[in-house]
Structure 1
Amino acid sequence: LGLGDSEYTFFCNGGKTVDQRLQELGAQHFYDTGLADDCVGLELVVDPWIDGLWLALKEAFLLQKEKEGMKSDADAVSSSFSAAPHIVHEVNLSSQVQNLKLEDEGVRSSDGLTQKRVDVNLVASARDTEPSLAHSVPPVSQSALNIPALPPEYIEVHFQDTHGENPHLSSLVSEGKTFEVPVTKAVQLTREDAIKTALLLELDIADTVFDYQPGDAFYVICPNNANEVEELLHILGLSEKAEYFVCVKVKQGTKKKGATHPQHIPERSTLKFILTWCLEIRAIPKKAFLRALVECTSDVGEKRRLQELCSRQGASEYTRFVRDANVCLLDLLHAFPSCKPSLNLLIEHLPKLQARSYSVSSSNLYQPGKLHFTFNVVEFPACPARPVSRKGLCTGWLAELVAPLLHLNKNTVDTKGGSSSTEKISIFARPNNTFHLPADPSVPFMMVGPGTGVSPFIGFLQHRQKLREEHKDQEFGETWLFFGCRHQDRDYLDELRYFLENGTLTHLKVCFSRGFSTAEVAPPKYVQDVIRLHAKEVARVLLKERGHFYVCGDKKHMADGVSDAVVDILSMEMEVDKLEAMKTLAMLREEKRYLQDVWS
């Protein structure tokens, strides 16, 4: 059973390596290898894999006994399992867990495991044929359920007085020094009618020791949405205690092994501070949390539905209505109004509110004392499981924060030019030790960055331009940029064409995913398609000239496609099979010449 995260380049590589080595040493599978993906929920593969393991082990032992001449005993034992289904090859062990189906009522975990049988208490109405977050239909609604054991409580909360001060935000960060810096400029890069809103913010770091290189990233400490915090306090019946200081301790006598005080919860702070800055209240609830919420729910029907969502039998509905729908605690409390969780339960199950990472899109050599970064304002449209649309937690907060600085259809807005609003945000560094310009400026490099993925490359080109101005006799290698955007007359093209005109950028290859084309042959829509059109140049830069190749942007919908395109190019130009081309790409990664800065 391998555990991994598909956001990483080599998914479950540790488990796959061990599996391969065991086979090389002569081991044979008696049960399919499981690959669980933390990106979508480990339990969705781990739980059914463990369930199927016991039957597979029994079968393997029986086969061994037969080989040892104990066929009679084996037959006797085997007959006792004749009614049990053979599920070794029925359990979906792929990381594509959305296809997981566990509707076989014959599949049950062994006694003594952390499972519990639940009786059927609710039958769906005949007129309701479609399931939803709060409502189920047969067969799930008529199934006996296997649900996880109730996680032991280990936190106790005591309200104190309202006197004192909350800790500084820097105390929430253990990775490095925090800086509170003003936002001095805000630019809307996309038009008002654009599908996505892209913003560029400028931070003034002149009075700090914050330093960076083009290609680095940094973290923004962001709060939960204020309205959502107030709404949660109201539902929990704790609005009047919002400004009370809270003391959080490990519960004496808890049965939880290794229980410790959560490091992301201050020793002393107000309830509102905890819900605003410490807990990720938008986190997708895991099954263990749903199981705990069952005990806080008084309505029989609602209790049953929560049991279904955390059960083996409801695995596909959990994926559909909770994980894929980006449902959070607030959505659950609206869908199940009789659910009244305690504060200690929230602290136990809600994860730490993580700072958000952004790529630097400027050069401190080009603009000393300034730091630029670019982002799309993320939108989560409403859906049946979550009838409220939302903006991204950090991008929505930043957009609201700089709204007074924004003037649509203008290129720059400077607070020194008249606006009296100077907002500040807290940041800390996330140095990237590899995603930097080549140390030798004569080395050629290629950049791939559609949309806001071009952000770090703006910093690359600014830095490169300044170096060319200061070192006119220096030899500089050629530079390529494969850029994709939605329309020909929008986004970042003006700035990129400026770099092309002054020679900083040697080749600019652009594709447009939208817009009308009159060409007889449809132009390529995606950067990976444009890369394939320049196969010989890509191979030359990577193989002959030992150049660098940078990719920045969405992993699933772009970066994976780019790496596939490069593999195909290497296979074609080197005249080798795909496996050999993949090995070459792996070598380029190891040599830090094929570099990615991607997100999901």
Structure 2
Amino acid sequence: MPSQIEQLLAEAAINCDPEEPRTPSIAPSLTFSEDSEDQDELQQPEPPKRRRASTRLIVQSPADIQRITGESTQQLINRCCGGGCCMNVQKKKEGLDYEHVTLPDNDAFRSLSLSVDDSLPTILTNVTELPEQTAFLIPIRHTSNPPSPPDSGISFGSSADSDIATDSAVAPEKNMLNLSLEDLDTSIQPPSFVQPHPPYNVFPARIHNTRELTRPGAEKRTYHFDLDVTDYPEETGTDFKVGGAIGVSAPNGPAAVEELLDLLMVPRFLRDKPVLLRTTRGRWPTVWGDDQARELVTTRRDLLTWCSDIQSYPPTKPLLRVLAEHAYDPNEQKLLMFLCSGEGQGAFCDFRTGPHITISQLLHAFPSAKPPLDLLLSVLQPLMPRFYSLSNDPHESYEIRDGKQHRLIEIAVTVHETSDWRNGSRTGVGSGFFERQSIKYTEMRKAGVKMPQLYTPMFKGLMANPLAKQFVSDGPMLLIGAGVGVAPFRGFVQRRLKNANCANKVWVLQGCRDALVDELYSGEWGVHEDEVKRVIQSRRGEGRYVQEEVVHQADLVWYIINSVDGRVFVCGSSKGMGEGVEEALIKVAMKKGNLEHDEAQKFWQLKKDVGQYIAETW
């Protein structure tokens, strides 16, 4: 086996780029140096560094591990010293009886990669209890006339008592007759009871324009949107701010909702029919409402479209327990119960921490499981809003159209993709919604539609987030971002460059893979762009990451953070970029301030506490 590993490493080394000498930064407008004794010393050139190789995935399944190491996953687990629940995977205990179980034979089940075989314990212990049903769907009966109370030849009470009895008998029927759907187009916005921004409802903002910012060949696709918020309801003391973020109540995809209704065998004539939803407790189907019982009129399609997340969360034992309770195939039921038991804890942990799994994939994998929709809704996670930073100065973005001044806000959205058992990959709820809207808009414009009527269900989200709160109109500012994390900085620069006194007080370090295909907003930052912005590419040229450029610009960083009203902003992914920039800033403090590592950490924490160092990562 060592020979196979050496062969794989040799192949990976062949794919690496050859060693290239590094050259110093050639951005004089971004290099600031204070007069100090250190400048009199001869600067020694840095020794050339070998470019890091691109990561190559060589293991993706237990079969790959066995092919490379010659050991099965069970053998590897036996040598593991972690002491976790994975020690029990595929390990049969002595004294237990086992029975043969026929595993489902379909692609969806095989894609789950469950760590189970066809022999399961006959008796299962510590099985998860069937979860409480908190949501009930009650049909609304429409009758022409309420039924009359039954006749009685003998009266045992006064006429007043009989009137009260009659009213109490008729009241429930009258209430049911008065129930109806609200007059709201739920194809463009959620029902009003969702209301993530009380007391204001979700506002359907018309898409004024949209375009793709990245070019063919980019590893990730990013789209730009101009949203018309001219008619957004007035809110006391709250306005769109530079650096703020809007909330978007993105729906589940129509195709995914339709497929789920098909799998649950919900008749088509019932899917859009009004139904009374009665909940016993909890916040659902609202977003941040009070924990209380509710009665609402809605439809089954609206609940799955706007209120429950059907793809973003790993499966839970209560969900599997519901599927097991309503699976008519004994083999599937036994397997699902095994995953909910103490004996199947190891397999469940592997299952939960594996690839993302959608509800429809589970129902395809266990085709005999047909739980009632209201019971399934009781165990699904709520569909939460997504937040997107403004990429412009919202106070200055207007357009005159149809004789009226329209106010616009701008956002950028990067499409998040994950593996899918059927199509290879699928998009996230929020980014997938935006990509579908952008594609529809482009197709409608090509078809000759001048003003496509497409909308984004949004609300004023975080106008008091750190980026918005700590933005000041004066003082030096360093903006560090990678990928779509640079989007809010565009609004910062637009606001700053309007003031002549601030033209030389803002600097941007923008990280990307390849500026030719995925540099965002190139040429759209305003005047003096070449002087205030430096693009760092990780896949072209020197192959430098943005955190490495932070260390290279140590003089500039140290000058800004120690200036009056100086601020350092960091925005982007917390994994890799965010952690790397934080460590780079610590190195700068150690180098320029002669601090130890712990002291440098404390230095930046103090700067964060006083609002001079702001990190907005996700």
- TM-score for the superposition, normalised by structure 1: 0.69
Q: What is residue 242 of structure 1 aligned with on the other side?
A: 271
Question: CA 1:261–1:458 in 2, change beyond 3 Å: closer, same or farther?
Answer: closer
Is 2:240 the counterpart of 1:212? yes
Following the alignment from structure 2 to structure 1, what is the Cα–Cα distance between the partners of residues 408 and 87? 52
Following the alignment from structure 1 to structure 2, what is the Cα–Cα distance between the partners of residues 567 and 167? 56
What aligned pairs does 1:399-414 form with structure 2 within 5 A after superposition? 399-406=435-442
Following the alignment from structure 2 to structure 1, what is the Cα–Cα distance between the partners of residues 417 and 369? 28
Give secondary structure in 2 for the equivalent of 1:380.
strand
Contact 2:205–2:229 (CA<8 Å) still a contact in 1? yes
Following the alignment from structure 1 to structure 2, what is the Cα–Cα distance between the partners of residues 160 and 310? 36
Q: What is residue 514 of structure 1 aligned with on the other side?
A: 539
Q: What is residue 578 of structure 1 aligned with on the other side?
A: 597
Q: What is residue 385 of structure 2 aligned with on the other side?
A: 355
Q: What is residue 112 of structure 2 aligned with on the other side?
A: 133
Match of 2:458 among 409, 420, 427: 427
Deviation at 1:166, TM superposition (A): 4.5
Following the alignment from structure 2 to structure 1, what is the Cα–Cα distance between the partners of residues 102 and 587? 52
Is 2:316 the counterpart of 1:282? no
Match of 1:307 among 328, 337, 340: 337
Match of 2:252 among 224, 227, 241: 224
Following the alignment from structure 1 to structure 2, what is the Cα–Cα distance between the partners of residues 456 and 546? 20
Q: Percent identity?
A: 26
Following the alignment from structure 2 to structure 1, what is the Cα–Cα distance between the partners of residues 525 and 279? 59
Deviates more, 1:327-336 or 1:340-349: 340-349
Match of 2:580 among 552, 561, 566: 561
Contact 2:114–2:351 (CA<8 Å) still a contact in 1? no
Give secondary structure in 1 for the equivalent of 2:479.
strand
Q: What is residue 16 of structure 1 aligned with on the other side?
A: none
AA aligned opposite 2:301? K
Deviation at 1:325, TM superposition (A): 1.2
Q: What is residue 216 of structure 2 aligned with on the other side?
A: 192
Following the alignment from structure 2 to structure 1, what is the Cα–Cα distance between the partners of residues 605 and 522? 33
Deviation at 1:182, TM superposition (A): 1.0
Match of 2:136 among 142, 156, 159: 156
Deviation at 1:446, TM superposition (A): 1.1
Following the alignment from structure 2 to structure 1, what is the Cα–Cα distance between the partners of residues 549 and 323? 50
Question: CA 1:576–1:167 in 2, change beyond 3 Å: closer, same or farther?
Answer: farther
Q: What is residue 356 of structure 2 aligned with on the other side?
A: 326
Render the CA deviation track for 1:361-397: whole Å, top value 9, x for unaligned. Answer: 11123313110101112222334xx665322222222
Q: What is residue 590 of structure 1 aligned with on the other side?
A: 609
Contact 1:377–1:391 (CA<8 Å) still a contact in 2? yes
Contact 1:250–1:261 (CA<8 Å) still a contact in 2? no
Following the alignment from structure 2 to structure 1, what is the Cα–Cα distance between the partners of residues 113 and 369? 12
Give secondary structure in 2 for the equivalent of 1:171.
coil
Deviation at 1:268, TM superposition (A): 0.8
Following the alignment from structure 1 to structure 2, what is the Cα–Cα distance between the partners of residues 205 and 297? 48
Following the alignment from structure 2 to structure 1, what is the Cα–Cα distance between the partners of residues 456 and 524? 32
Contact 1:376–1:395 (CA<8 Å) still a contact in 2? yes
Q: Which runs of 5 or more structure 2 residues have no equivalent in the other structure?
A: 1-80, 104-108, 143-178, 185-189, 287-293, 399-406
Following the alignment from structure 1 to structure 2, what is the Cα–Cα distance between the partners of residues 320 and 166? 44
Give secondary structure in 2 for the equivalent of 1:201.
strand
Following the alignment from structure 1 to structure 2, what is the Cα–Cα distance between the partners of residues 260 and 582? 41
Q: What is residue 73 of structure 2 aligned with on the other side?
A: none
Following the alignment from structure 1 to structure 2, what is the Cα–Cα distance between the partners of residues 250 and 584? 50
Deviation at 1:404, TM superposition (A): 4.0
Give secondary structure in 2 for the equivalent of 1:511.
strand
Render the CA deviation track for 1:418-455: whole Å, top value 9, x for unaligned. Answer: 62412122210113423137565331111111111111
Q: What is residue 552 of structure 1 aligned with on the other side?
A: 571
Deviates more, 1:263-272 or 1:227-236: 263-272
Deviation at 1:218, TM superposition (A): 0.5
AA aligned opposite 2:371? P
Deviation at 1:358, TM superposition (A): 0.8
Deviation at 1:183, TM superposition (A): 0.5
Following the alignment from structure 2 to structure 1, what is the Cα–Cα distance between the partners of residues 96 and 242? 57
Match of 2:181 among 159, 165, 171: 165
Contact 1:478–1:506 (CA<8 Å) still a contact in 2? no
Deviation at 1:298, TM superposition (A): 2.4
Question: CA 1:224–1:498 in 2, change beyond 3 Å: closer, same or farther?
Answer: closer
Deviation at 1:222, TM superposition (A): 1.8
Give secondary structure in 2 for the equivalent of 1:326.
coil
Give secondary structure in 2 for the equivalent of 1:406.
helix
AA aligned opposite 2:228? D
Following the alignment from structure 1 to structure 2, what is the Cα–Cα distance between the partners of residues 104 and 222? 41
Match of 1:345 among 375, 382, 396: 375
Match of 1:454 among 476, 486, 489: 486
AA aligned opposite 2:454? E
Question: CA 1:351–1:437 in 2, change beyond 3 Å: closer, same or farther?
Answer: closer
Match of 1:394 among 400, 423, 430: 430
Q: Which is greater in Rg?
A: 2
Match of 1:442 among 474, 480, 483: 474
Give secondary structure in 2 for the equivalent of 1:539.
helix
Q: Which runs of 5 or more structure 1 residues have no equivalent in the other structure?
A: 1-88, 93-98, 108-116, 252-258
Following the alignment from structure 1 to structure 2, what is the Cα–Cα distance between the partners of residues 208 and 118? 65
Contact 1:136–1:305 (CA<8 Å) still a contact in 2? no
Deviates more, 1:362-371 or 1:475-484: 475-484
Following the alignment from structure 1 to structure 2, what is the Cα–Cα distance between the partners of residues 498 and 243? 47
Following the alignment from structure 1 to structure 2, what is the Cα–Cα distance between the partners of residues 396 and 119? 48
Q: What is residue 375 of structure 1 aligned with on the other side?
A: 413
Question: CA 1:271–1:498 in 2, change beyond 3 Å: closer, same or farther?
Answer: closer
Contact 1:280–1:350 (CA<8 Å) still a contact in 2? yes
Question: CA 1:352–1:119 in 2, change beyond 3 Å: closer, same or farther?
Answer: farther
AA aligned opposite 2:408? K
AA aligned opposite 1:565? A
Deviates more, 1:130-139 or 1:286-295: 130-139
Following the alignment from structure 1 to structure 2, what is the Cα–Cα distance between the partners of residues 578 and 491? 35
Following the alignment from structure 1 to structure 2, what is the Cα–Cα distance between the partners of residues 494 and 131? 43
Following the alignment from structure 1 to structure 2, what is the Cα–Cα distance between the partners of residues 100 and 547? 50
Following the alignment from structure 1 to structure 2, what is the Cα–Cα distance between the partners of residues 405 and 104? 51
- TM-score for the superposition, normalised by structure 2: 0.67
AA aligned opposite 1:366? E
Give secondary structure in 1 for the equivalent of 2:487.
helix
Deviation at 1:250, TM superposition (A): 4.7
AA aligned opposite 2:194? L
Q: What is residue 487 of structure 1 aligned with on the other side?
A: 514
Q: What is residue 527 of structure 1 aligned with on the other side?
A: 546
Q: What is residue 364 of structure 1 aligned with on the other side?
A: 394
Match of 2:561 among 535, 538, 542: 542
Following the alignment from structure 1 to structure 2, what is the Cα–Cα distance between the partners of residues 172 and 589? 35
Question: CA 1:134–1:494 in 2, change beyond 3 Å: closer, same or farther?
Answer: closer
AA aligned opposite 2:229? I
Question: CA 1:405–1:451 in 2, change beyond 3 Å: closer, same or farther?
Answer: same
Question: CA 1:463–1:504 in 2, change beyond 3 Å: closer, same or farther?
Answer: farther
Give secondary structure in 2 for the equivalent of 1:268.
strand
Larger RCO (CA within 8 A; separation ≥ 6): 2
Following the alignment from structure 1 to structure 2, what is the Cα–Cα distance between the partners of residues 124 and 261? 40
Following the alignment from structure 2 to structure 1, what is the Cα–Cα distance between the partners of residues 582 and 242? 23
Question: CA 1:250–1:281 in 2, change beyond 3 Å: closer, same or farther?
Answer: same
Contact 1:283–1:350 (CA<8 Å) still a contact in 2? no
Q: What is residue 17 of structure 1 aligned with on the other side?
A: none
Deviation at 1:543, TM superposition (A): 3.1
Contact 2:225–2:411 (CA<8 Å) still a contact in 1? yes
Q: What is residue 267 of structure 1 aligned with on the other side?
A: 296
Following the alignment from structure 2 to structure 1, what is the Cα–Cα distance between the partners of residues 332 and 245? 44
AA aligned opposite 2:573? D
How many aligned positions are there? 467
